[in-house]
Amino acid sequence: MFGTQELLLIALVILLLFGGKKIPEMMRGLGKGVHSFKEGMKGIDEPEKDNTEKTEKKSDSDK
């Protein structure tokens, strides 16, 4: 996909555009965003499991 030379060139361009002090702040923000996204996805998956359990209990009590 990308070779070592291409990645180094991209890193150099980013360093020149944003400077050395700004990059850690940007990466920290990106990390928080990814963490928040994962938490949101986890929250979406869990309620579905809860709904399935409630539906199964309801159908068992109907019998």
Task: Evaluate if pTM is beyond 0.85.
Answer: no
Tens digits of pLDDT across the chain (63 residues): 779 999 999 989 988 988 888 888 888 999 999 999 999 888 877 665 555 565 565 555 555
Q: How far apart are CA 63 and CA 19, in angstroms?
A: 68
- 52 close to 60: Cβ distance less than 8 angstroms: no
SS (H, E, C) 4-59: HHHHHHHHHHHHHHHCCCHHHHHHHHHHHHHHHHHHHHHHHHHHHHHHHHHHHHHH
| pLDDT, position 54 | 57
How many other C-beta atoms can be found within 10 angstroms of the C-beta atom of residue 12?
Answer: 10
Six-digit token string for 12: 């150099």
